[in-house]
Chain A
Amino acid sequence: MTPLLEVQDLRISFPTAGTRVSAVDGVSFTLERGEMLAVVGESGCGKSLTSLALLRLIPHPGRIEPGAVIRLDGQDVMALDEAGLRRIRGRRIGMIFQDPMTSLNPVFTVAAQIGESIRAHRKLRRAETRARALDLLREVGLPDPEARLDQYPHQLSGGMRQRVMIAIALASEPEILVADEPTTALDVTVQAQILEVLDRLRVARGMAVLLITHDLGIVAGRADRVAVMYAGRLVEEAPTPELFVHPSHPYTRGLLASVPRLSGPVTRLTPIAGTVPLPAAWPSGCRFHPRCPEVLPRCPTDDPPALGVGPGHQARCWLVEGSRP
């Protein structure tokens, strides 16, 4: 069976001083129906660009390099014209972002903005549209939904705005919801509410979720699979429990060791040395080698391919080769 979404060899480049620099450099993954895949990485790793590329929304002057394959249910997204893209954007693939305030229009009511999304999908009468908007607000668990319909974004809290954004994204019944750091701007108790809404919708609607985040914590116990990105590349991919129990890329291990925990003894944190490199200065060979505590002689020159660690588990690291029987 074809996967719902298939991405192969995605490269996104930006012009700088006479050449083009690849901010995303050869990323491949799939997303199945009803699945939650988390893409995890630090700022500048290319995770948000990857999600924008699915809808061909790369900001000018960036571009997706030829050779990339993006297929939605077998359909070639790279071959679509503007009209074809409009039939996908927001309809088959919905998106929510970190800061709902910048995506909501401050001069329209909640009802008007959800209504716009509903009517783009189905031709409904005014009263039907309003009823549908109310249903959606209930579905995302917005408290007191009748009263909220006629309010403006500034009258809502951050958590409520994110619920409204999710309702807008759901109006067209998308098969995939791309959630780019959906809870980063929210307090932890509100973050827990929003993540629960996403979980519930996924089960109730069979909707696939691509969760983009920097926080390994919100991934654990929620996503089915995790893909870790570093410096424009996907460095490790595994089923979620496997990734946390057997992290196989030193970068993944480093990330896990850097996070303060709520349980167990408090010990000194083990940070990853150095800083995340910029796209114009990505190192040769394995891009993590200058910061890697387990670097091998070949790492500065030989770029490791994705090597199999176990079922559904791959890592771009030469150590994997050495550890296999």
Chain B
Amino acid sequence: MTLPLLEVVDLVKHYKATGLFARDAPPVRAVEGVSFAVSRGETLGLVGESGCGKTTVGRTLLRLQEATSGSVRFEGADLLALDPAALRQVRRRLQIIFQDPYSSLNPRRTIGQAVAEGLEIHRLAPPREIPARVAALLEEVGLDPSHAERYPHEFSGGQRQRIGIARALAVEPTFIVCDEPVSALDVSVQAQVLNLLADLQARRGLSYLFIAHDLAVVRQIARRTAVMYLGRIVEIGPTDDVLSRPRHPYTRALLSAVPEPDPTTKRVRIVLPGDPPSPSNPPPGCPFHPRCFHPLKDARCSVERPLLRTIGPVEVACHYAETPP
């Protein structure tokens, strides 16, 4: 196996509490020691519910937020240790697309200007070649190149997501963090964008960290999947294995909760009690134990936090992963 393109080791991000009583409040433990690697041309899906820390992982990789500790190796360099000038060079190879591209587009600039911005900043093309490059990028993401003169409000949600993708592609990245890129889109348009991301990956050999809450979407696009709960990865492995034979009770519950548009698939619905606990006050022991339904759950689970360990093709953080529920 070749060296991974991106390797994250023991990433931690704590937020200081803010507000009136901040001094006494514990920090929000958004990410608590996350490790994973992504190879060239590969997609790793990162799934979990809101507040599990998946978006924070994506943002700390690009240093849009500074990590508390840990390391991120990308193309041989430790991203978290780079000075601003070196970081800017690396960021060209490491891009991000967001759930709501509208909020990241300047309403007063045409989409041609928005896509050209990265080319200009990184001096990737002489000024006279920029219009042609922009046209080619718009075409590559399925937009009409003649629309370069239009403004963001003239486009639908799906088209704006295509603009966001064209912007990211402009600087010729090798790695793209996709943060819920299809969650805000209608289903018919969501399928168009998923197909586009798959095509671009095949054509350009891109690697994706695909952050999503929808397991079916992740299954569609990611060969490997990591499931996060309360700031930690609880299960990681090939998507087929994780989703067809979940070994962590949380993965199992998450899967059973996904509504499938097919009344003939009779699945056992597991309805988890309660809400995910607050990341500023995580439970001791296994973070999932207060909601866990595993028949073998015992006192050990509330005292000793299970570490990720290899079982068959996957890694699981559960004391009783050998006998999944």
Contact = CB atoms under 8 A, between A and B. Distances in A.
A285 interface: no
Contacts of A189: 49, 253-254, 257, 271-272
Given A189-B49, A214-B186, A275-B158, A220 B213 contact: no
A270 interface: yes
A221 B259 CA distance: 9
Given A188-B49, A271-B188, A262 B260 contact: yes
A205 interface: no
A268 B49 contact: no
B271 A196 contact: yes
Contact of A269 (B194, B243, B269): B194
A280 B6 CA distance: 48
Given A189-B49, A269-B195, A275-B158, A262 B258 contact: yes
Given A255-B187, A276-B186, A215 B219 contact: no
A8 interface: no
A146 interface: no
B219 A260 contact: yes
A159 B271 contact: no
Nearest to B158: A275
Contacts, number: 127
Given A159-B275, A260-B216, A42 B188 contact: yes
Given A189-B253, A268-B195, A261 B260 contact: yes
A244 B264 CA distance: 9
A266 interface: yes
Given A220-B259, A220-B262, A272-B188, 16 more contacts: A42-B188, A187-B213, A188-B258, A191-B259, A214-B186, A244-B261, A260-B194, A260-B217, A260-B220, A262-B219, A262-B258, A262-B260, A266-B220, A271-B188, A275-B159, A276-B188
Interface of B: 49-50, 156-159, 186-192, 194-195, 198, 213-217, 219-220, 243, 253-265, 269, 271-276
6 contacts: A187-B49, A244-B262, A244-B263, A255-B187, A271-B188, A271-B195
